[in-house]
Amino acid sequence: MYLNHFGLTELPFGITPDTSFIYSIQYHQEALNTLLLALDEGEGFVKISGEVGTGKTLLCRRLLQTLDDGWVSAYLPNPNLNADTLFLALAEELGIMDANGLDQYHLVRRINHVLLEHAQAKRRVVVCIDEAQAMPVETLEALRLLSNLETEKRKLLQIVLFGQPELDEKLHRPEVRQLLQRIAFHYRLDGLRKSETGNYIAHRLRVAGYRGDGLFTPAALRALHRASGGTPRLINILAHKSLLSVFGEGRQMAKVRHVRLARKDTEGASNVGWFWG
């Protein structure tokens, strides 16, 4: 690989969400602030939506890292489950070891008992559900019923849904309209602005150990933004492939032609246009 060639200690443009590479993009910080405000106010449901690659999973991990000891968190990364299996997965996340074999009624009672114990100990519980657009409608409705668990003062369980735009479409179906009405806070993730792309690239290179001047010309950075539409995952893929081309030529600087080559080899990337560089 090109690590030694560019003086890197690790790959700077991986597509696996990695909180060590967190860069405070404006829309990400706004979304995190929205989540923290919603949780502080005790709202039952919060929704974060965005296209593929806009950083929903990374945002979820940032949120979980931000919560202090006063919180108990559960993370469900694959909610394409029927209601009973979802409740079992939640029970497991909450440390309930005797849930297997219980019917739905007794399983919900067991979950409610544990939630009441946390409430009595002044602990709050949040469940983060990633890829929520994959959740069957029937399971969404069961999740709404689970959110009915509450004391006289507040909800026993807060639920954050992270999903692609298909989640918005699913929530507008008549059979889940009651859940939609319970979503008090919502944020839609967009791509990076053109002005943020250069700083984003420079930040990831610094975290990966690079200490030289910029590896991408200004025109190449503009081309990266145009080809990716500002989507962080696409920026990472295109930047990685561009540096592979630069490395293959034995050079040190990525130019527009390297981004063009990367774009041709990347599904979902847009045409770069005619930049000089």
- What is the predicted pLDDT for the residue at 274? 58
Nearest 5°: phi and psi at 181? -65, -20
Q: Which of 141, 174, 189 is the last residue of a domain?
A: 189
Residue 30, both tokens: 């706004």
- What is the predicted pLDDT for the residue at 24? 76
- What is the predicted pLDDT for the residue at 267? 86
How many beta carbons lie within 10 A of that of residue 97, not counting itself?
Answer: 7
Q: pLDDT digit string (tens) for 90-132?
A: 999 999 988 888 888 899 999 999 999 999 999 999 999 999 9
Examine the domain organization and report whether 104 and 181 are in the same domain: yes
Domain of residue 210, CATH code: 1.10.8
What residues of the chain score a pLDDT lower than 70?
152, 273-277
Q: How far apart are CA 52 and CA 99, in angstroms?
A: 34
Residue 271, both tokens: 């045409």
- What is the predicted pLDDT for the residue at 20? 87
In the chain, % helix, strand, coil (3-state, to 5) comes to 50, 15, 35
Structural domain includes residue 222: yes
Range of the domain at 246: 192-264
Structural domain includes residue 15: no
What is the domain count for the chain? Answer: 2
